Amino acid sequence: MASETKPPRFVGPLVHFAQQAGLTVEASPSGSWIRFPGQRGTLYVVQDAWGDGCTLMEMATGQGRTIQHFLDPRKAVAAAIQQARARTNAGTALASRRAQAG
């Protein structure tokens, strides 16, 4: 009796680039978007439906959103990583200042 094999799950370039950077991300089943949770909101990198570009959206809780467009998916993922790290570093610095003051 032949064993059944499942086809591999498609890994789009966004997931691939995030994995290369050592990140664990949530992704759509098709790999067309990835999500990074953050302290002030959530970062999404979404592949354009009409070409090779990507849109980076930061959905900040209670503060609206920031949108940037990139023609290269690698640059979009790199910008998301940079923003996620900047938020983490800013949160760590704020917590340190609060601990020193209190």
The pLDDT tens digits of the residues spanning 32-66 come to 899 987 666 788 899 988 878 899 888 876 666 77
Residues of the chain with pLDDT > 70: what percent? 66
Is residue 44 classed as helix, strand or coil in its secondary structure?
strand
The vertex-27 CA angle with 71 and 81, nearest 5°, equals 55
Q: What is the mean pLDDT of residues 3-10?
A: 48
What is the pLDDT confidence band of residue 7, given thresholds at 50, 70 and 90? very low
Topology classification of domain 13-93:
3.30.720
Helix or strand run (H / E) with residue 75:
helix 73-101
- Is 94's pLDDT higher than 60? no
pLDDT of residue 11: 67
Q: What is the mean pLDDT of residues 74-86?
A: 84
Strand partners, 78: none
More confident residue, 94 or 36: 36
- Is 71's pLDDT higher than 90? yes
